[in-house]
A and B are shown apart, each in its own frame.
Chain A
Amino acid sequence: MIKRIAVLLVAGLIAIWFLAPVVLIVISALTPSAEYYDPVRIFPRTITLTHITSLLVTLGGWRATLNSIQVAGMSIGISFLFGIPAAYALTRFVFPGKNTFRLGILMTRTFPVLVIAVPLVIIFLRIGIDDTLFGVALAHTTMVLPFVVLITSSIIGGISVEYEEAGMIFGLSRFGSFMRITMPLVLPGLAASAIFAFIMSWNEVFVAAVLNLTNRTLPAHILRTAMTAPDYFKFAAGTIMAVPAMIFIFFTRKYLMSLWGISLK
């Protein structure tokens, strides 16, 4: 009994430690400014959406959000388009250089991606895609693509090759067999990986802030403007950044362990 209470107490403290900042910033974002600057009032009596709406509408937050979504979308698109075939090769073929390739992909996961931002500014200027969303998407692809190759190869590896072989015996092509037999089976896993890839791009701030001056993604926009904005806009910004990421994590919680395990190793 005492042990159960102790466990409950510790669990409660852990939950407060991890949840409190998230709850508090949401409350801050909804607090009317007069109440926020009142030193003795901890929690507001009324709530307001004005900070969030004015951040989105007048301060360019909505445009930045759309930019972020486009960047993440393009980056995910490129990564899956080229990542899935590579992952297929890794799981379904034996060929010289396979381990070198896999190791190389793993190494890029430990490479400090922020380093490429400065040279990319110059390279993108040269080829005429400076300050574009496509440019940022390409930069994010350097993080997302290796992740997609690794995660997809482990997902495809989990599906027995014999199903595909059976399909080929019955007259499907190699490609057709993959698309019609393996693809439907791996789709949920791929969807979860896509969500993770989305969060990677959505949260990335350094590269996005260095690359683009006018077409900023949401975190880059916040980084550039937050320091001079009044406090309540900072909280509105933090909330807008946090909410989609948390919703996405909620939907992929089943895959949490396996995805992070792979994305980090």
Chain B
Amino acid sequence: MRMTYKKSASPYLLILPVILILVMLLGVPVIETFRLAFSHPVSPFGNFNRIMASGELWQALKYTVLITAIIVPLQLILALALALFINMRFKGYLFMLYVISIPLALSDVSASLMSYSIFGPSGYLNKILINLGLIDSPIYFFGYVFQNRAFWVIVITEVWRATPLVFVILLAGLQSVNKEYLEAADVFGFSRWTKLRKIILPLLKPAMLSALLIRTLFAFQIFGVVWLLAGRDIPVLAGEAYFWQTMRHNPNVAASYGLTITLVLLVISWAYLVLLRSRETEGVAL
């Protein structure tokens, strides 16, 4: 039995404040973003023209896409390996679960400063290499001339920080795999590899897709790690928005970058949904 009152106004009264808050704090700012991005003394597309003509938009877009395209698959593969390992339920796996989830609590700010303590000019990596006699003077990872090295430090930092997020989603997916399927597979003498490929991975697909979507959405908003480790040497969309807003005091250009992020993410979410739906119909056809 459920407590339902026909035509009761109370549930609406209960959700109304939430709707109002979100409309005021998300809806209104989104409209304001459009207004800002498309107001320019000369033409509505003036702000976009400006950052497109200077090539800044393309640079930022290039690096954002590049970082996303590298870290997301890496995180997925590593997280899958971790989840399969932890799901073996060996003695002490709960402790490992806690260890792996530590980066979940850490901000991008902390994580990038941790990276800096390792890869900095006086960082642990350089000190160890010097002590081993492999190098005489420190290897520099940061600064405009070392852009490429900084890029890979950023990749490592993001992989370290966000793999556990994917891991948690995949582990939850693994735990909901019906044990009876695996027992049946044992009865038929399937190998571990066959079980993984034919049973576990197909069942894990929804979890993997949702992890993929979430990570893509967040990777595209990458800011703290890049800004702290490379500044504008490696331009990303969010970093450019921050730069134009706080250092150039130009909210119009900043909003143009914000709008770019939103639009790209909309396209990505839509693509995932289409992909997901086609997969589902495929399943029905089979």
Chain A residues engaging chain B, CB cutoff 8 angstroms:
4, 7, 10-11, 14-15, 17-19, 21-22, 24-25, 28, 36-37, 39-42, 78, 82-83, 85-86, 88-90, 92-95, 98, 101, 104-105, 108, 110-112, 114-123, 138-139, 141-142, 145-146, 149, 161-162, 164-165, 199, 202-206, 209-210, 219, 222-223, 226-227, 231, 234-235, 237-238, 241-242, 245-246, 248-250, 253, 256-257, 260-261, 264-265
Contact = CB atoms under 8 A, between A and B. Distances in A.
A121 B245 contact: yes
Nearest to A36: B122
Contacts of A246: 102, 105-106
B53 interface: no
Contacts of B251: 118-119, 121-122
A25 B105 contact: no
A120 B33 CA distance: 9
Interface string B216-260: 010011011001100100000010011001100001001100110
B179 interface: no
Interface in B8-51: 8, 10-12, 14-15, 17-19, 21-22, 25-26, 28-30, 32-33, 36
A115 B117 contact: no
B99 A235 contact: no
The 10 A-B residue pairs with the shortest CB-CB distance, nearest first, are: A238-B113, A203-B107, A119-B32, A89-B14, A249-B105, A93-B11, A245-B105, A21-B114, A116-B29, A119-B29
A37 B122 contact: yes
Contacts of A118: 33, 36, 241, 245, 251, 254-255, 258
A161 B102 CA distance: 36
A38 B109 CA distance: 26
Interface residues of B, number: 92
Given A18-B99, A39-B126, A83 B18 contact: yes
Contacts of B4: 93-94
Contacts of B172: 257, 261
A219 B107 contact: yes
Interface centre among B30, B110, B126, B242, by most A CB within 10 Å? B110
A245 B213 CA distance: 26
B192 interface: no
A95 B107 contact: no
Interface of B: 1-5, 8, 10-12, 14-15, 17-19, 21-22, 25-26, 28-30, 32-33, 36, 82, 85, 88, 90, 92, 96-111, 113-118, 120, 122, 124, 126-128, 130-131, 138, 160, 164-165, 168-169, 171-172, 210, 213-214, 217, 220-221, 223-224, 227-228, 231, 238, 241-242, 245-246, 251, 254-255, 258-259, 261-262, 265, 269
A93 B12 CA distance: 10
Contacts of B17: 82, 85-86
Contacts of A14: 82, 85, 96, 99-100
Nearest to B101: A256
A86 B14 contact: yes
Contacts of B220: 112
Contacts of A117: 241, 245, 258
A253 B95 CA distance: 10
A115 B258 contact: yes
B117 A119 contact: no
A227 B228 contact: yes
17 contacts: A25-B117, A28-B117, A36-B122, A42-B128, A110-B269, A116-B26, A117-B245, A118-B241, A118-B255, A138-B25, A142-B25, A162-B1, A226-B113, A227-B231, A241-B113, A253-B98, A264-B168
A237 B32 CA distance: 35
Interface centre among B26, B36, B100, B265, by most chain A C-beta atoms within 10 angstroms, is B26
A17 B14 CA distance: 46
A209 B254 CA distance: 14
A116 B25 contact: yes
A264 B29 CA distance: 23
